[in-house]
């Protein structure tokens, strides 16, 4: 039997991975420096050296369902120290992107959203749909008098339409995760079960909340604080949005400026803006340390940034009675769609895939 029959290399995959990551995969001499310098790599069967040989061999299935690519936090230490300039950190980042596309359901949507040439349509779809709903409900009239956004897009229709979209997103996500989990088990079968599923789930949750692993980076330690600010800012805003929906039904809405929930929302926006500005600034000014930035990275950072900025403007416009308040509100709604409804197919989805892989690793005792 030929070795190629056993290994089954995927040549297209090798070419695509080299192109996306900008890494000269064939230059890897398997010295193992990357695994030695990586502070997150387990002693048993460490990464990323083994993945680099798999990448050179084009073992697509093995790599896309490899739990270890999700244990990496893209600090770039391995890329800095690799004597052959093979950029394992960037290779892992591209692999995670390919992994989303591979597991996302429906697949055509993931493929569509991943192409820069589709960007105008990606924005046009929510624009047309939201315009259609508002036209159907209020005739697209700009309401006169005091600025109250629900006069333009009533809360009931807004909450129902967006809740349906979010539920569809969650439904698609569950299918994706089921397939992803199946491959994690296939690629790294448990030698022993270390924890219960529930315990693994909470351990993973605790690790993500503390960002403990992020803090281990040598070369790129700004990412710890920036990621922490973005993470907690986003989570807080999700809670605030949830509370706003509840308030519409049971309490008074809109909230006053000094309402504690409003204050929490504003602090979260500041946290997100500082964290995102740091990430964007570092990506623009320190390309070597930040790694290869792709369309996938930029669309995530920019859409989230614009979402926060328009959110702040929507609030100021209401208190200050701006003429274009409703127009800004509309742009904000389109951005909410781009960030939340497209979540599983964009870099945002990494939260869910990483959490799943981390829970699985805790389950099988891979530390």
- Using CB under 6 A as the criterion, which residues of the chain lie in contact with ligand SF4 when the complex forms? 28-34, 37-38, 40-41, 47-49, 52, 72-78, 82, 84, 86, 88-89, 92
CB nearer ligand SF4, residue 77 or residue 183:
77
Closest separation in Å from C-beta 4 to ligand SF4: 22
CB nearer ligand SF4, residue 47 or residue 342:
47
Closest separation in Å from C-beta 96 to ligand SF4: 10
How does DSSP assign 342-363, residue by residue? TGGGSGGGHHHHHHHHHHHHHH
Q: Categorise residue 8: left if φ over 0, alpha if ψ from -120 to 50, beta otherwise.
A: left
* 170: helix, strand or coil: helix
CB nearer ligand SF4, residue 207 or residue 253:
207
CB nearer ligand SF4, residue 86 or residue 173:
86
* Side-chain-side CA neighbours of residue 192 (13 Å): 4
Closest separation in Å from C-beta 270 to ligand SF4: 29
CB nearer ligand SF4, residue 75 or residue 336:
75
Nearest Cα neighbor of 348 from 267, 240, 235 is 235
Closest separation in Å from C-beta 52 to ligand SF4: 4
CB nearer ligand SF4, residue 49 or residue 105:
49
Q: What angle do CA 21, 290, 32 make, to 5 degrees?
A: 60
Distance (Å) of CA 225 to CA 7, 212, 328, 366: 42, 11, 30, 26
CB 188 within 8 A of CB 364: yes
With 0-12 / 13-18 / 19 or more C-beta atoms within 10 angstroms meaning exposed / middle / buried, residue 261 is middle
Sign, Cα dihedral of 252, 164, 298, 223: positive
CB 321 within 8 A of CB 273: no
Tell me the C-alpha distance between 362 and 194, whole Å.
7
CB nearer ligand SF4, residue 34 or residue 244:
34
CB nearer ligand SF4, residue 33 or residue 293:
33
Closest separation in Å from C-beta 211 to ligand SF4: 13
With 0-12 / 13-18 / 19 or more C-beta atoms within 10 angstroms meaning exposed / middle / buried, residue 293 is middle
Closest separation in Å from C-beta 235 to ligand SF4: 23
CB nearer ligand SF4, residue 54 or residue 363:
54
Tell me the C-alpha distance between 172 and 85, whole Å.
38
State the greatest distance between any 2 C-alpha atoms of the chain, in Å, as a whole number.
80
Closest separation in Å from C-beta 30 to ligand SF4: 5
């Amino acid at each position: 039997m030929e070795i190629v029959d056993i290994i089954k290399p995927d040549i297209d995959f090798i070419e695509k991975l080299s192109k996306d990551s900008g890494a000269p995969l064939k230059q890897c001499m398997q010295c193992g420096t990357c695994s030695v310098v990586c502070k997150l790599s387990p002693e048993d069967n460490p990464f990323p050296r083994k993945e680099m040989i798999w990448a050179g061999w084009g073992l697509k299935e093995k790599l896309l369902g490899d739990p270890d690519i999700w244990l990496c936090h893209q600090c770039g230490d391995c890329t800095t120290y690799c004597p052959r300039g093979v950029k394992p950190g960037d290779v892992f980042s591209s692999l995670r992107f390919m992994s989303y596309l591979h597991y996302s359901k429906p697949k055509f949507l993931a493929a569509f959203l991943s192409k820069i040439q589709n960007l105008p349509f990606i924005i046009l779809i929510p624009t047309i749909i939201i315009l259609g709903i508002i036209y159907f409900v209020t005739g697209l009239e700009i309401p006169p008098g005091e600025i109250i956004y629900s006069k333009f897009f009533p809360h009931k229709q807004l909450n129902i339409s967006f809740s349906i979209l979010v539920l569809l997103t969650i439904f698609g996500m569950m299918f994706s995760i089921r397939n992803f989990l199946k491959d994690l088990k296939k690629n790294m079968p448990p030698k022993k079960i270390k924890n219960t599923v529930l315990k693994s789930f909470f351990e993973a949750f605790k690790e993500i909340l503390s960002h403990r692993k992020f803090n281990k980076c040598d070369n790129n330690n700004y990412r710890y604080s920036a990621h922490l600010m973005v993470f907690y800012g986003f989570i807080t805003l999700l809670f605030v949005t949830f509370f706003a929906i509840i308030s519409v039904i049971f309490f008074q809405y809109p909230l006053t400026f000094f309402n504690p929930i409003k204050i929490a929302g504003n602090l979260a926006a500041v946290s997100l803006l500082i964290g995102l500005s740091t990430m964007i600034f570092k990506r623009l000014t320190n390309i070597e340390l930040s790694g290869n930035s792709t369309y996938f990275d930029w669309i995530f950072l920019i859409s989230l940034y614009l979402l926060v900025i328009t959110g702040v403007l929507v609030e100021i416009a209401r208190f200050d009675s701006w003429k274009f308040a409703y127009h800004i509100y509309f742009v904000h709604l389109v951005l909410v769609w781009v960030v939340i409804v497209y979540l599983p197919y964009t870099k945002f989805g990494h939260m869910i895939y990483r959490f799943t892989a981390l829970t699985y690793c805790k389950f099988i005792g891979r530390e």
